[in-house]
Amino acid sequence: MDGTTNTGRLYGGVKSFACPNCGGIVDVRAPGQTLSAGCTHCGTVIDITDENFRILQEYNLKMKSPLIPLGSRGKLDGVTWEVIGFMTRKSGLWDFYWDEYLLFNPIHGFHWLTNAYGHWTLVEGMMDKPTYSSDGKTVNFEKKNYKRFSGGDAVIQYVIGEFYWFAEIGDTVKVYDFISPPEVISAEIENGGIFWSKGRHIEPAEIKEAFNLFDTDGKGSI
């Protein structure tokens, strides 16, 4: 899931099409790179590489309102990002949930913004791989050790917006996190392949400021 695959469709700026399930308008903000889109009106997941917009999953979900609405733009680390996708994942073993926002910039590609019970992390894919210790309990990257913190299945529970792979409810991957606060390195394993990413803790106040999420009382919802 490196986000580099082109669809051969929907080039140019923001594009729209009618959801084949409910007829609601679905926006595509990363044309040429998006493979699937979850309708924000009914939750149906659509293959936008198919000329007939084939339905991958049909759901009439009770829709959720992400804390950062799809289409929002905000500046983090000096780059303006647009929120184009949102999903909720759950641990395969415990009643532990977290949200993931897919961020897109036409020059810098994709980043992720994750939220686990108010703890936010800005995540980007890694070009270079870390090295494992002999016991597998730590990884080393750029002369820095990261200790294994957690690991297990991550299962998609909810998905709306667009993604650079075919994201569907029920999809499961293995995820292992290695930490050296305030940074984390994660390994996501699926079908024998490993996708490495690196993240850093980010304060809620920075998220509010970046995406202008303040209410009239100045507090905001994050």
Residue bearing tokens 């609405």? 69
Residue type, position 160, single letter: I
Does pLDDT of 84 surpass 80? Answer: yes
DSSP H or E segment with residue 211: helix 204-211
> Residue 11: what pLDDT?
38
Percentage of the chain lying above the pLDDT 90 cut:
77
Query: pLDDT tens digit string along 129-167?
Result: 999 998 889 999 999 999 999 999 999 999 999 999 999
Q: How confident is the model at residue 32 (pLDDT cuts 50, 70, 90)?
A: confident
Whole-number average pLDDT of the chain: 89
pLDDT digits (tens, 9 = 90+) for 171-185: 999 999 999 999 999
Report whether pLDDT(4) > 50.
no
48-52, 113-117, 207-211 — which is least confidently predicted?
A: 48-52
